[in-house]
Amino acid sequence: MDIDIVSVFPEYFDVLNLSLFGKAMERGLVTVRAHNLRDWTHDVHQSVDDTPVGGGAGMVMKPEVWAECLDELLGIPADAPANTDADTTTAPDAPVLIFPNPSAPLFTQQDATELSHAGHLVFGCGRYEGYDARIPQYYRARGVDVREYSIGDYVLNGGEVAVSVMLEAITRLLPGFMGNAASIVEESYTGANALLEHSQYTKPATWRGMAVPPVLISGDHGKVDRFRRDEALEKTSRLRPDLIAHLDCAALDKADRKTLIALGWEVSGAHPRKLG
């Protein structure tokens, strides 16, 4: 996977040399280039932003500088007409252009999975109050798959942190990135019936007077699985009832239904419904 990141703080991405990501780069699984947006400016001040049209606080990133940069990284001529180059989206290794944006849909595990199949990702990090809305529009109109995502309901100073979050969620799904593929399958938010993951324990069985749940050392795998599933259902019902409400009732087994009913859910429809 080829990754380009554009930012006014490209050094922020030096951290990618560490840990699993650094190893994946060494092994050639991913190639990351972090670019400085200011390299595409022509003025002495290397300015990348301007005041908002219509008034308001802060500064907005200018479209001209971004476009010179993105034309180059995406391989699109500066005079490319709109709506004619439909090929770009159908090519298997067509780049996907991603802008972190606090006013966009939430980035989910499903997005991470989808993007892990792309051959080339280009991330554009906005700073200040954001970027000119015509930038994503322009590239979309030229057949580029453009995505805008928020990583949660809170405000960050810029897109850099959000890009590193998305990048980690995406690249850890690449075949060969992680040692243990099975650990991906069992995680929270994975698959159609996403639940929070059950609690984990390691040895010793009793630590500072606290025993692990006895069933986990019973050797009965069926009972262990059921215990973990019930704990996941209980924890999800308590902390993320929105995830329970999205479950597919047809995919629940009898024991799941019994547990959910005991937790105050009604499970006779297509999706569970909280009672009371």
Question: For the chain, how long is the longest CA-to-CA vector?
Answer: 71
Residue placing its CB nearer to ligand 6GU in the complex, 101 or 259: 101
Site for ligand 6GU in 95-134 (CB under 6 A): 100-102
150 binding ligand 6GU? (CB under 6 A)? yes
> Which range binds ligand 6GU by CB under 6 A, 8-16, 87-95, 144-152, 198-206?
144-152
Taking the CA atoms of the chain, what radius of gyration do you get in angstroms?
A: 23
Q: How crowded is residue 14: how many other Cβ atoms within 10 Å of its Cβ?
A: 9
Axis crossing angle, helix 160-171 with helix 19-26, rounded to the nearest 10: 60
236 binding ligand 6GU? (CB under 6 A)? no
Q: Residue 200 corresponds to which tokens in the numbers above?
A: 């984990």
Round to whole Å and give the CA distance between 140 and 241: 36
Binding mask 42-81 for ligand 6GU (x = CB under 6 A): ----------------------------------------
Q: How far is CA 256 from the centre of its chain?
A: 29
Q: 25, 59, 141, 156: which one contacts ligand 6GU (CB under 6 A)?
A: 156
210 binding ligand 6GU? (CB under 6 A)? no
Q: How crowded is residue 158: how many other Cβ atoms within 10 Å of its Cβ?
A: 17
Q: 162, 173, 196, 267: which one contacts ligand 6GU (CB under 6 A)?
A: 162
Look up tokens 């015509």; give the residue: 134
Residues at the interface with ligand 6GU (CB under 6 A): 100-102, 150-152, 154-156, 158-159, 162
